[in-house]
């Protein structure tokens, strides 16, 4: 297999457009003269027609025809339960596959997806926007440089206001067969962030519930991941939250870091009174401010994935290892088991 380099254009196929983030990527791709959007396939014919009309794209009636158009990268945006079928087929035609998160609805399917990738010699890039967010990249730098000393406690708030979204209860995102629920769909973001920042945990404990609309499962929950070092890494998710400010806190023996406006409800506020990201070292009088600009809206963070997809297509970006992708999926799905059984999960017991 060869990765396209120094080509005059980057040929992109869209395999499934169920996920709304695909629209953000298209808006960004059209800023690049080197990008050629070949077309779209979606198993839902009505959705496919609507999407192709809106963005003036060629509509393909079967995925094989789309994938055989000498594609540099295919973006898979179908419902999560269909990821395995989409990846298995894409691997026969395309070297570079960008997959809208999460990886799968089960660990079994997740492993099969990664096996298909390995068997074909393809490359997989799961589209986690938190990994390309400059604020999170700065936080990772602070951690890697051990600026705060021994890390003791990390807390990440990640919220949405789905209770305000018209007819959201009818969407595939909260269909148990297609995507499990809001925890699997969106708590997966901060869980992958925890995996990226700190590696794999030793144990986890989660408590997840549906508090507002029974048709939108898993709308609130908390998970605590413990590490061999003693670190507590906590995520707090409310998908029934309208506003917010503080989204990240990191406490170490030598200082503390605080981030504001890191999720959609907080970032989309018109009034932002606090500085986006700051940290303080023990013994210093003043907080240090990171030179990281808080975007006007959360959509900017999603759109930041578009140029990274292009780098991936040309071989300029090497995605994370498939082990990381599987770890993130396990950490997310084991939260359900922990919550339902009210027990702490030891990750090594689920290594296989």
Domain CATH for 104: 3.40.50.720
Instruction: Give the mean pLDDT of the chain.
Output: 95
Query: Are residue 250 and residue 268 in the same domain, yes or no?
Result: yes
Tell me, what's the pLDDT at 6?
43
What are the residues whose beta carbons fall under 8 Å from the beta carbon of 307, sequence distance 6 or more?
28, 32
Same domain, 275 and 226: yes
The verdict on 210 and 95 lying in the same domain is no
Has residue 5 been placed in a domain?
Answer: no
Please name which of 202, 198, 194, 196 lies closest in space to residue 151, comparing C-alpha atoms. 198
d(CA 321, CA 107): 16
Specify which residues 13 forms β-bridges with: 39, 74
> 């395995």: which residue's tokens?
84
Q: Which two tokens stand for residue 145?
A: 């440089």
pLDDT tens by residue, 314-336: 999 999 999 999 999 999 999 99
For the stretch 251-278, pLDDT in tens is 999 999 999 999 999 999 988 888 899 9
Q: Residues 212-252: pLDDT tens digits? A: 999 999 999 999 999 999 999 999 999 999 999 999 999 99
Q: Is the pLDDT of residue 4 over 90?
A: no
Q: Are 39 and 59 in contact (CB under 8 A)?
A: yes
Asked if the structure places residue 292 within a domain, the reply is no
Residues 178 and 211 in one domain: yes
* Paired sense of beta strands 35-41 and 151-159, if any: unpaired
CB 223 within 8 A of CB 191: yes
Asked if 28 and 100 sit in the same domain, the reply is yes
Within a domain: 293: no
Residue 278 sits in the same domain as residue 136:
yes
Total number of domains in the chain: 2
* Residue 57: partners with Cβ closer than 8 Å, 6 or more residues away: 14, 37, 39, 40, 51
Please check whether residue 294 lies inside any domain of the structure. Answer: no
CA distances from residue 206 to 8, 61, 264, 333, 339 in whole angstroms, order as listed: 49, 43, 23, 10, 5
Specify if 291 maps to a domain. no
- Is 187 among the domain residues? yes
Same domain membership, residue 71 and residue 31: yes
**CA proximity to 90, closest of 116, 111, 114, 115:** 116
Same domain for 210 and 103? no
One domain for residues 56 and 39:
yes
Q: Is the pLDDT of residue 76 over 60?
A: yes
CATH number, domain of 227, equals: 3.30.360.10
What pLDDT does 5 receive? 42
Residues 187 and 56 in one domain: no
pTM confidence score:
0.95
Which two tokens mark 88? 């298995």
Q: What integer pLDDT is reported at residue 352 of this predicted model?
A: 74
Please report which confidence band the pLDDT of residue 106 belongs to, taking 50, 70 and 90 as the band edges: very high
pLDDT greater than 90 at residue 125: yes
The reply to whether 89 and 152 lie within a common domain is no
pLDDT of residue 8: 67
* Residues 122 and 140 grouped into a single domain: no
Structure tokens at 2: 């060869």
DSSP lists the bridge partners of residue 224 as: 205, 234
Classify residue 253: in a domain, yes or no.
yes
CA distance 202 to 213: 33
122 domain residue, yes or no: yes
Element (H, E) at 213: none
Query: What residues make up the domain containing 115?
Result: 10-127+303-319
């Amino acid at each position: 297999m060869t990765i396209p380099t120094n080509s005059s254009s980057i040929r992109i196929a869209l395999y499934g457009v169920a996920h709304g983030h695909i629209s953000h990527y298209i808006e960004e791709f059209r800023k690049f003269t080197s990008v050629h959007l070949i077309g779209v396939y979606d198993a839902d014919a009505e959705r496919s027609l609507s999407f192709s009309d809106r963005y003036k794209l060629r509509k393909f009636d079967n995925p094989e025809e789309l994938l055989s158009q000498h594609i540099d990268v295919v973006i898979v945006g179908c419902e999560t339960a269909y990821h395995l079928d989409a990846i298995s087929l894409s691997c026969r035609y395309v070297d570079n596959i960008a997959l809208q998160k999460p990886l799968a609805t089960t660990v079994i399917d997740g492993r099969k997806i990664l096996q298909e990738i390995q068997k074909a010699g393809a490359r997989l890039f799961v589209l986690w926007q938190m990994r390309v967010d400059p604020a999170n990249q700065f936080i990772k730098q602070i951690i890697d440089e051990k600026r705060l000393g021994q890390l003791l406690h990390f807390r990440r708030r990640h919220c949405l206001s789905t209770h305000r979204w018209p007819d959201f209860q009818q969407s595939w995102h909260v269909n148990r067969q297609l995507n499990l629920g809001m925890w699997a769909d969106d708590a997966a973001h901060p869980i992958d962030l925890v995996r990226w920042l700190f590696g794999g945990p030793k144990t986890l404990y989660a408590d997840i519930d549906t508090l507002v609309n029974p048709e939108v499962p898993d709308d609130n929950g908390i998970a605590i991941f413990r590490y061999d070092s003693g670190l507590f890494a906590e995520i707090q998710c409310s998908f029934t939250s309208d506003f917010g400010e503080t989204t990240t806190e990191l406490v170490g023996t030598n200082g503390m870091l605080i981030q504001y406006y890191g999720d959609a409800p907080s970032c989309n506020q018109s009034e932002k009174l606090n500085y986006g990201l700051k940290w303080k070292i023990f013994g210093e009088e003043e907080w240090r401010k990171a030179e990281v600009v808080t975007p006007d809206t959360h959509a900017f963070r999603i759109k930041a994935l578009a140029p990274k997809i292009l780098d991936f297509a040309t071989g300029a970006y090497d995605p994370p290892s498939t082990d990381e992708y599987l770890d993130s999926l396990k950490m997310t799905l084991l939260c359900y088991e922990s919550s339902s059984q009210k027990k702490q999960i030891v990750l090594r017991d689920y290594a296989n």
